[in-house]
């Protein structure tokens, strides 16, 4: 899911308020898709049961409030942890350091990596994931 004006804070206080108190939010797509302030408030106030995140709104910074909550599971962003993606990242970084554009196409452009994101809204969960 690209981060655009339409997807920024797609999961906001209103979306979180629509969830049941037993709901868990899982975000593995883009950090800024979730309004972290609204998420922290919902977690602290017990309006949702928990959250599992491997992306954060202002990566690499993680809000102290999320680190302190016992109903949150945090992980480093693993969505790019494929060989093709990491090789393309290394190629791009090396080219940038040398002052030239990266060679070739990205794994997604080569058809080896298809990136789609699904947002599933329910009263028991919100799942934001890259497929």
Annotated catalytic residues are: 30, 59, 77
Backbone phi, psi, residue 101, to 5° = -70, 155
Backbone phi, psi, residue 110, to 5° = -80, -5
- Residue 26 per-residue DSSP state: E
Rounded Cα distance between 65 and 60, Å, is: 15
Name the token pair of 65: 């409030």
Strand partners, 127: 26, 120
Rounded Cα distance between 33 and 101, Å, is: 29
């Amino acid at each position: 899911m690209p981060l655009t004006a339409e997807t920024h804070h797609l999961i906001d206080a209103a979306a979180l308020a629509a969830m049941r108190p037993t709901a868990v939010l899982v975000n593995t797509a883009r950090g800024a898709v979730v309004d972290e302030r609204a998420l922290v408030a919902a977690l602290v106030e017990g309006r949702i049961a928990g959250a599992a995140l491997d992306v954060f709104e202002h990566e690499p910074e993680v809000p102290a409030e999320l680190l302190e909550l016992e109903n949150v599971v945090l992980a480093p962003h693993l969505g790019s942890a494929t060989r093709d993606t990491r090789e393309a990242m290394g190629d791009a970084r090396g080219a940038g350091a040398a002052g030239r554009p990266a060679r070739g196409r990205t794994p997604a452009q080569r058809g080896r990596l298809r990136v789609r994101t699904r947002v599933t809204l329910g009263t028991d969960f919100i799942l934001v994931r890259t497929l």
